[in-house]
Structure 1
Amino acid sequence: MPRLCYCKSPASDEPLPMDYIGRGKFKCPECGLIEDLNEVIFRARLHYEEVEEEGEKYPQIRILEPFDDKRLVEFVYGEYTLKHSLEEDLNEMELWENHKLGIFYSAILYNWYRCSYEYNEWDLDLEIIKEIELTIENPSPPEGVF
């Protein structure tokens, strides 16, 4: 779900998708409007790996330490940290289906939404907006990109 700008592009009345320009900011390519969503973007190292359990292999995504964003372990909802909720939701999204195995530095846009008013239950809506593969030659993300 990309960020949208409703500035009325010359070609149509459809909203335009905004470009992610780094540091939590999105920019409209038409009017130049900048939207800062830094407070709802987590940056984390995601490890896409294949795990073997009881003779069967299955893909898994884990968030690796060190945590650049301390909110991952400081924010607790019920008995779970945000890290636990993010890992659970990332694996449910089946992002690994067509994804290369390895370690990727990712910017993850998140939004809490209430899935049950009766039981006061909340869930996460996630979108990976930018990622870069980390390697031995490139162990850290470029400065200012995320």
Structure 2
Amino acid sequence: MKHLTKDHSLFGIDLIDELVEDYFQLDTGGEDISNFAGDTKVFDYLIDEADCDELQEAHNLSDSEQLPIIIANNLHSEQEDKLLHVLRLHKKAIGWKLSNLPGINPSIYMHRILMEEEAQPIRQQQRRPNLTILDVVKKEVTKFLAAGII
């Protein structure tokens, strides 16, 4: 039995955080980040005990753009004003559309089926598992039904 004498795979991990920070030019001790972290206390008022029926109030963060948000109905006016103020300050951080997410390649979130040019898409007939696999599948389905997963 041979043992590896040199394993260089562990040394590559040490530099990942530093390289990512250099590439994106991140500043982890920035004033904006600490201010935002302090403002996140306002978000606790959102949906702690609210049902979906209570999410009634719709607001627009900007007059010129359509930036709709829906907040809880049970907020006091002061809490609502604070929440809207924080959201207006940080509205660029929210991805309103997929096209608004900078730096993300569209090929990551788009689904494509690569086919040859002459290929015609066809629907194949449903296949049945063999009897031993069918019993295992039935047991798994009944187990999930009993647990309330499906």
Query: Rg bigger for which structure?
Result: 2
TM-score, normalised with respect to structure 2: 0.22
Higher helix residue share:
2
TM-score, normalised with respect to structure 1: 0.22
Report which structure shows greater RCO (CA 8 Å, sep ≥6): 1
